[in-house]
Amino acid sequence: MLKKERADFILNKLNELYPTTPVPLDHKDNYTLLVAVLLSAQCTDERVNKVTPELFELADNAHDMQHVPVEDIYKVIRPCGLAPKKSSAISKLSRILVDQYNGEVPENMANLEALPGVGHKTASVVMSQGFGQPAFPVDTHIHRLAQRWGLTKGKNVTHTERDLKKLFPKDSWNSLHLQIIFYGREFCSARGCDGRVCSICTTCYPNRKTPFIANKP
């Protein structure tokens, strides 16, 4: 199978399995989405969704959050890990949003990436899931699967993102990055598949004899 053939098969398979792609992080607007995505770094979506209701009871908008003591934010988000940095980032970005954007989340990658605690992946998720702009957020999960499926040889998420954007239609990016995550969790997890178990792996590489080891980002 050529790389393009693998990409076409994967896209069709994922569209069949996941015709709808609900956003895994609970939120009500772009501000709460931004905060939830920030919290999800090195943390499961499930844990974030357990923490954010209490956090958003304290404040669910930048105008109010800027006045919440960092210590109070920390107490709530502590289970998410990296809580000291994340609580400080939430406080600081809320202040910036109020000072520079009237409390609104900017619809611009560069402006998002300039916010405290917001990297390229977080900004891409907000652009994609919040604003509906074409973006292809790539985390270590997608990076690993893209290598396992022969879609990239990228040694980091930046390289992998660039390769996936070339392979797949732009209008598929926003749903596809979620579909890959859903499939990985259900069928092609690190423990559940070593490149020789799930239907995508076995179709793309029917003659693979040894476990596939991905390049770490």
The verdict on whether 86 is a catalytic residue reads: no
- Is 30 within 8 Å of 38 (Cβ atoms)? no
Lookup: tokens for 191: 């423990």
Number of residues that this document lists for the chain: 217
Lookup: tokens for 5: 């053939």
Identified catalytic residue from 92, 139, 153, 209: 139
Identified catalytic residue from 3, 85, 121, 153: 121
Q: What angle do CA 192, 155, 149 make, to 5 degrees?
A: 40
Q: How far apart are CA 94 and CA 104, in angstroms?
A: 9
The verdict on whether 171 is a catalytic residue reads: no
84: number of Cβ within 10 Å = 11
Q: Which residues are known to be catalytic?
A: 121, 139
